[in-house]
Amino acid sequence: MSTVLETQASAAEEPERKATPHTAVLDPERRKNTGLKSGLITEQDALYMAYYEGTVFHGQSWLSSLRLGNEVVFYEVALHGKVYRALARPVPGQNPRTATCDLKYGLARACSEGLQRDGWLLEPPRAIPNTPRALVRELQHVTGLTVDDIVDNAYSILNNRRHHGAQYPDTMEPEKYSFKELFLMSVDTDGTLKTLYETPSGVYPEQWTNFLRVLDREECEPLRQYAVSGMAVGEYGEAGATAIREALHLRDGGLRAVPPASYMPFMERFPLADHQKLERTVGGQRR
């Protein structure tokens, strides 16, 4: 099996369409800057307004900043006792009295041996991953590890922080944030990476985004009942129903013994709120 799915350079250099609402992105605020095929954000787009910290809402912890001081964090992954990060950070050597909005930023990679410990800089990236598949390619490039090793042992610390008021967990292996669980990832027998955040063959993208929306809301019990009912096959097809059951297994440990749901279409059982956009964001927007 190849240890590199695709070189970052070639993916970044190819002109491509941008991500759609049904592209699984890690950071929804950067969806429009994410390549549809590569899953990458160009250096120019990643650094745009890197100095901007956003509006501060005091007393609302779920709006806390994910920044590390004056650095923007694009990913934080714990793997084999180390934490790997991609950052936008002020370029060294600038006048300390330079206005924040005039600071020049550059991309950087860093590695440390703890969640909140200083580490060392690695080779800087030329683009930033914003999809699960692109993140695995990035980690392959940085660590030299195989796809199997990454999928089996990596944990997304930034997703955990995003869902817990920007606070760090007390472990480098937080429950529900392994790549297998969070990204619905697996590796086929031929070494091919698979993530069920990508639309299964034969399923409409809108349908699958709808399913992921409910899965990310942690409504696993009614989803199990739907998954073993005739409606799952009728609406999603055999392959789609199988993918639903596989996703539930990865996220919540399988179907267990549940009665099938009554005959009711998915959208009636799990209606979309009037104000809600139908967009595919990894892990949803849990807080």
Query: Is the pLDDT at 58 greater than 60, yes or no?
Result: no
| Confidence at residue 283, expressed as pLDDT on a 0 to 100 scale | 80
Supply 207's token pair.
Answer: 């349908």
pTM of the model: 0.88
Residue-wise pLDDT for 175-209, tens only, equals 999 999 999 999 998 889 999 999 999 999 999 99
Residues above pLDDT 90, as percent of the chain: 65
66-79 burial string, b = 16+ CB within 10 Å, else e? eeeeebbbbbbbbb
User: Are 107 and 2 spatial neighbours (Cβ–Cβ below 8 Å)?
Assistant: no
Summarised one tens digit per residue, pLDDT across range 63-121 is 457 889 889 999 999 999 999 999 999 999 999 899 988 899 999 999 999 998 889 99
As a whole number, mean pLDDT of residues 49-63 equals 60
Find the range with the poorest average confidence among 12-21, 89-98, 166-175, 265-274: 12-21
Give the C-alpha separation, 107 to 89, whole Å.
6
- Quick one: pLDDT band at residue 145, thresholds 50, 70, 90? very high
28, 281 Cβ separation under 8 angstroms: yes
